[in-house]
Structure 1
Amino acid sequence: MLKKPLVVILSLMLLLPSTSVFAVGGQPSAWSKETIQRGIDLGIVPERLQANYADPITREEFAELLVNVAFKKLELVERSHEWTKEMVLEKVTIDQSFEDTDLDHVKLAYIIGSVNGTSDTTFSPDAFITREQAAQMLMNTIHKASIVSYATEEEMGYWDYDQIGEWAIPAVSAAYNLELMKGSNGQFMPRKHITREQAIVTIIRVLDHAKYITLQLRGDITAYAWFDDLTYNVGKDYVNVSYEDEGEFSLSDQALREMWFQYSDTYDSGVRYDHEKAIVIYGFHSNLLSLTYTWILDSALKGEGAKVDYGYMTVETFTENHLLEFKLKDIPGYFNALVGHVYGYPKVEVDPNPID
């Protein structure tokens, strides 16, 4: 007697819309929901991170968020020719690959300087990251083109300030001033694992508050996409630049010719236009300041190499193997171009000097 009603009830249930039952932490908190949805809509948050928001985020997962927001920022610049992820992977070679991951977004995060390995050959993709590590990865990525200033201990007012690792203080204080990470209830909780939802919200703050208008190799060396005849090799503390002459008129050739005849430093020199010399003189001006400090310019016009110490790095041109070799120094703090070319923690002005 009960079979027919039971069949009817089951049939009705199949017609009703289904509802998902989320485990604890399956949905974002109310305070983060709108921001996370924005990140999803923009394509910054991959599908695999759209659940279990209270879980701690891994090094590999946070690397993908950093890469996605960096390339979203480049996309929003709306230049006629801009880097894509595929272009970077084609033009940039990592000299020492990781043995424990071959993911493209980890490679990209390493190339743009967001992350290092846990050793020369390992990345530890599944390791969770702390809040102070997240702050460092953030600032590693966006410092060159953002207005970096360091908040004092008093300004931040964290009662757990003394728990922040000395190595992380420049990143934590800079992230505070950029409104990327500010802690909660008077504490920063530096060694607490950052959760997925905290990481996503922080990444969207990068979109809103930080500048990233040109690709930076290893976080410091500006690389323009229209230099289509250049290739790069990167390691933990260097970027090497090579020129590949394919016998065709490159995207960079017209722009560099215009610069060569626009600026008196090269126009009045009497030296005929030379593409390799033009790349060295003008291609990395935001790093080399070659029109202000002319050692590299003067040597290039003579067809000679030069070596200059910029404080946070050394640069050598026309080496045996490369057009330029940038060697980055292991110093606390960050290089910043938007506030007058300063570097380090505390900040000092870049004061280039030639090296014999």
Structure 2
Amino acid sequence: MGVDYYNILKVNRNATEEDLKRGYRRLAMIWHPDKNPSNKREAEAKFKQISEAYDVLSDPQKRQIYDLYGEEALKSGKVPPPPSATRGAASYHHHQPPPQHPNPSFRFNPRDADDIYAEMFGGSEGVGSGSAGPRSRNFRDGFFRGTTAEFGSSASSAPPKKAAPVENTLPCSLEELYKGAKKKMRISRTISDASGRVRSMEEILTIEIKPGWKKGTKITFPEKGNQEPGVIPADLIFILDEKPHAVYARDGNDLVINLEISLLEALTGKTIELTALDGRNLTIPLTEIVKPGHEVVVSDEGMPISKEPRKKGNLRIKFDVRYPSRLSTEQKSDLRRILG
């Protein structure tokens, strides 16, 4: 017989119209190409196959020819001559009368996959309206274009619900947030195949961290959660977190460092040497007298600004002056002479 349309829709050979609709809706929601962005080619083929099976079995004349002579006769239009009464009766069970012989001039005109989908899940402008003249076809160039009918409500079918988002924390070092980075995350999720069987699959997601991104930034992978029949898979969301750094603290787009210097250095000056987050050596001369709480600002040495990649915030160095715990009589005398 070639293609088994009954098996494709997972219904038996005595399926009623309602059985066919139920089978089509369940499978169309699983295999709609827009719901399978990472597996689009296979989904498109399955979706067209499901649509063709429903088109044939829901049309009494197409179904009769298919049941009697198979897919090849249906599509070619080459229907064999009427069988004899004896042969016709032998093809059917005793309780089922032989059908009338189909029209020998029958021509197979398959319906568009998007027309069937729109009809089953609610109509939209220009889709499934049955109007004459040119129409906008959504199934084009090998891709199914989404319509306002998608997942719309109808009298016979409630729209599928979407599972709640799944959130995960993504810890990043300050160096990764300064320079940018690519992180690969291995995820495991369950998916349903055309027969309704649930299986587990692993996938590697690549997350590109842009320079300057802040804690709390969300990276969303649409519908990468577990797939269950009749439910739109959850979005998978990674929320960026910032690991503590040994030297620098982040304050918005600025980097802040707390530095303790001696009283002598505060009075006489010092050269400060730091290593930037991208590995460069920074040399900052300290020439003026430093008081406790003093802050030196070095422009353009802070974090990159994500919306303006060529700009950076400031580096702010906050000083604390370390005083001697005791002074000798001679040291006190010298200080009075110098400072008095």
TMscore range, shorter length:
under 0.3
User: Larger radius of gyration, structure 1 or 2?
Assistant: 2
TM-score scaled to structure 2, two decimals? 0.19
Higher relative contact order (CA 8 A, sep 6+): 1
State the TM-score, normalizing by the size of structure 1: 0.18
Higher fraction of helix: 1
